[in-house]
Structure 1
């Protein structure tokens, strides 16, 4: 079996308001990923600025912060072999119009600014750890064995 990896995922305010938390969690569970942390929360300005810090100089930064703080989010940490790449594949492209049907954004997103979900970038090695650390304390993340693990991995 490959070594497990953890990845950060967040249902954004539009996904929460549209009642998509359960559907999104189910998709990741059905894929075989293991939920090791979850938190329903309201992001404040400080956390939003820290989370989107790499976009601070871009013209859309203020809109990002305003949107992500506009309502509750559901932050999660998922674990599994190659979890970050698996999740990104399931999430789809940032622009829902470019996302394939069957992906979360392809099925539920209509607008670039309202694309339902955030997932750590598999091409940025530090993104996962940074985002997990921003949203979760170590004691909020659980280690346990899924009873179906032998059926998921060789």
Structure 2
């Protein structure tokens, strides 16, 4: 089993400014105003995870963008009702994750720690 470590977590009401940076490639899409309205309607939980192939693994756990095509047992397959109410976002690449982490977290908020069972649960 590969070790996954939570490095940061935050619950916040997100600003339209931060969302416009996060979703910069979507700003010209017709659904963008409703996306802003949805994302600012309540608190969001943002997290940073570390681990071997963590981007690919998290994408599998999250499921297909369209919840109608997402497998049962994935977050979107079990909890999303429509593509415009997706309930979860996961970075699509390591580069995308690094860009998004810099938007959502200050460097000091990322915890660098060693798990007590790291040597017995990590693949080399």
Q: CA deviation at 1:147?
A: 2.0
Cα deviation digits, residues 42-67 of structure 1 (max 9, x gap)? 00111111111101111111111111
- The aligned counterpart of 2:102 is 133
TM-score where L is the length of structure 2: 0.91
> Which structure shows the bigger proportion of residues in strand conformation?
1
d(CA) in 2 for partners of 1:101, 1:33: 23
Q: CA deviation at 1:119?
A: 0.7
Q: 1:52 aligns with which of 12, 23, 48?
A: 23
How many residues in Structure 1 have an aligned counterpart in Structure 2?
Answer: 122
Provide runs of 4+ in structure 1 moved above 3 Å.
none
d(CA) in 1 for partners of 2:118, 2:80: 31
1:93 aligns with 2:64: yes
1:149 aligns with 2:118: yes
Alignment map for 1:1-154 (pairs within 5 Å)? 32-122=3-93, 125-154=94-123
d(CA) in 1 for partners of 2:72, 2:55: 20
d(CA) in 1 for partners of 2:66, 2:4: 24
d(CA) in 2 for partners of 1:148, 1:50: 38
d(CA) in 2 for partners of 1:32, 1:74: 22
Q: CA deviation at 1:32?
A: 4.4
d(CA) in 1 for partners of 2:96, 2:63: 18
d(CA) in 2 for partners of 1:67, 1:107: 19
TM-score where L is the length of structure 1: 0.74
Structure 1: give runs of 5+ residues left out of the alignment. 1-30
